[in-house]
Amino acid sequence: MSAQPFTADNTAMLLIDHQVGTMGWVRSIPFEQMKANALALAQTAKAVDIPLVLTSSMEEYAQGPLLAELAEIAPKEFEARIKRQGVVNAMDDENFATAVRETGRKKLIIAGVTNDVCTVYPTLTALRLGYDVQVVADAGGSPTKMADDIAIRRMENAGATITSTVQLLAELAENWTSERGGKIIPFVMGLMPQQ
């Protein structure tokens, strides 16, 4: 685990399997909250030029297509998404691993739709490969709170930093009055509870 901050200049973002079918299996966090968090991550990556890698698993089956909003937010990355056919650990898919390497970044922000499957295995692999990883735990979830807690504990024990969407966006902003902070603050405000 590195004490060096994650910045827009040293970080890549990996969004794993935010597919409409798979998202319906998550029960540890409300669907709309998880979706809003995942989309805010994608919006932030595009706004401040963080390399964004998208992947999906078996879109033609129960998992379904990636969120349509991702195609609007990041059309190029959506078109280039790595479509895995049954490979559970995205980092075991050579196309995905290559896309991650080609970002040239050693710090990875990882958010997968299910923390107990989609997120945990690529995180463990990335850590073994020497990447510094932050897992955005509330941009995904698990079928049960227990499954989510176990997955988060496993990733943290392996050396990942566990964070939340707003916490990560604040870290990337660095200063709300800067140009970068000004680009990120609307996405943070969009996640705030409405009165």
Residues identified as active-site? 118
Fill in the amino acid letter for 131: Y
Q: Tell me the C-alpha distance between 192 and 8, whole Å.
A: 22
The two three-digit tokens of residue 193, written as one number: 């509870």
Lateral strand order in the sheet of 132-136: 82-84, 52-57, 11-16, 107-112, 132-136, 161-163
Helix (H) or strand (E) holding 95: helix 94-102
Q: What is the dihedral of CA 71, 82, 143, 23, to 10 degrees?
A: 20
